[in-house]
């Protein structure tokens, strides 16, 4: 069975964006150490899952990076070449390359994906979409990239759990840019 991995940047106080979806606090001065880690994390990925709100900025950003010879790199190649599924209740069609819209019931769709042959699946968000995946117990591996910033309030991803979510720490790793990744699996 394929695993569903979550890769998300968050603040030390657990928010993935500010109250108005601000992301200016995230560290992007990544060095070779964190880039190599993310490359390794994504080596066995063959599908990306996104919520509609994040997809509207995420997909065009990576397409633009890949189209520009000065910014194209392995990361932008991965993000544009990998098939993406955008979960939406509002979009009727997509002009994005390598993108399929999923408009049905997400739990069944994701369980079907996990049961197909292929590489692992990675989810990037946004907050509402990721919260629903966590609540439904669909995430197998959590890769929480904790940025050295506290926001005080914002958009959390653990807001919909109704009881304790027990996780097992697999790895904690600090990077030169100040980000620490915490890799958890279901306990």
Domains for the chain: give ranges and CATH numbers: 38-166 (3.40.430.10)
| Predicted local distance difference test score (pLDDT) of residue 65 | 86
Which residues does 57 contact at the CB level (< 8 Å), separation at least 6? none
Which residues does 159 contact at the CB level (< 8 Å), separation at least 6? 127, 131
Say if CB 146 and CB 10 are below 8 A apart.
Answer: yes
| Predicted local distance difference test score (pLDDT) of residue 94 | 85
* Cα separation, 161 vs 95, whole angstroms: 34
Pick from 48, 57, 59: which is nearest to 5 by CA? Answer: 48
pLDDT tens string 161-179: 999 999 999 999 999 999 9
* Cα separation, 58 vs 36, whole angstroms: 21
The model scores a pTM over 0.85: yes
| Predicted local distance difference test score (pLDDT) of residue 59 | 86
Which residue ranges in the chain fall short of pLDDT 70?
none
Residue spans of alpha helices (H) in 26-105: 32-42, 52-67, 74-81
* Cα separation, 70 vs 61, whole angstroms: 14
* Cα separation, 2 vs 90, whole angstroms: 28
| Predicted local distance difference test score (pLDDT) of residue 34 | 95
- SS3 category, 107: helix
């Amino acid at each position: 069975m394929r695993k569903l991995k979550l890769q998300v940047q968050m603040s030390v106080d657990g928010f993935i964006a500010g109250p108005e979806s601000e992301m200016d606090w995230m560290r992007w001065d990544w060095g070779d150490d964190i880039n190599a880690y993310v490359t390794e994390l994504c080596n066995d990925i063959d599908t990306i899952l996104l919520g509609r709100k994040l997809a509207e900025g995420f997909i065009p950003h990576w397409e633009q990076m890949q189209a520009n010879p000065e910014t194209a790199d392995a990361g932008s190649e991965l993000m544009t070449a990998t098939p993406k599924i955008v979960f939406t209740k509002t979009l009727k069609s997509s002009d994005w390359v390598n993108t399929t819209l999923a408009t049905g019931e997400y739990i069944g769709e994701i369980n079907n994906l996990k049961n197909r042959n292929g590489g692992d699946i990675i989810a990037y968000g946004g907050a509402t979409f990721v919260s629903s995946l966590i609540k439904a117990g669909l995430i197998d591996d959590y890769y929480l990239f904790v940025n050295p910033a506290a926001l005080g309030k914002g958009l959390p991803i653990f807001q919909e759990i109704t009881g304790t979510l027990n996780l097992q720490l697999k790895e904690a790793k600090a990077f030169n840019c100040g980000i620490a990744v915490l890799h958890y699996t279901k306990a």
